[in-house]
Amino acid sequence: MMAALMQPFRLLVIAAALVLMIASLGYLMLSPDRKYRETPVQFTLGSEQLIDFKVTQACSHEIGLGFRSLDGDQARIDSVFGSGFKNVNLPARYRLTLHNLDGERIFHQRVIGGPGLPMRYGPDPIKFIAGTVFLPEGHYTLSLHVDELYSRFEGLGAFVFAQHIPKTRCGSMKDPS
């Protein structure tokens, strides 16, 4: 008699454990810290833009600029940046600067463009990595200054990104300073 009463309770415990596992997995996959932050920007000559974002878990981040074709046409990406992984060329010169809320400059990189820039992913979207920086929890402002353009970027959407470095375990690192 007692075993028959325990059977529904066991099923309930198993179901609750499954729901908890699925919810935890969903949180890890959909958490803003588990995917990269991507903010659209206007990539035009002389433009200067400020982008605010929040880091909720201390980790090393890659910071950079990316492009995607607005109509899904791979040929547009190839015509601006070149085709083939080794032949990719960024025809622009820009600056990325990262500040914390206190106004302290944490990261600054002037990107000259040309071939041989560090890339991740691609070909559509294509991302150019300006550098890496350890970011503790907090609010940050990223500024983008476009100094020169050597090609037309029509039909492309530009974005800045801050993403965790792949295969890096976050939350276990200490501030190097």
Nearest to 119 by CA among 147, 82, 168, 71: 82
The predicted-structure confidence for 43-96, as pLDDT tens digits, reads as follows 888 889 999 988 888 888 989 898 888 887 777 778 887 766 666 778 888 999
| Dist. CA 153–CA 43, nearest whole Å | 8
Output the six-digit token pair for 48.
Answer: 């200067």
Measure CA of the first residue to CA of the last residue in the chain; give whole Å. 65
Nearest to 139 by CA among 163, 90, 174, 103: 103
The predicted-structure confidence for 102-130, as pLDDT tens digits, reads as follows 999 999 998 877 666 666 666 678 888 88
The pTM for the full model equals: 0.70
CA angle 101, 134, 144 (to 5 degrees): 55
- Count of beta carbons in the 10 Å neighbourhood of residue 16: 10
**What is the length of the chain?**
177
Query: Quick check: 140 and 53 in contact, CB under 8 A?
Result: yes
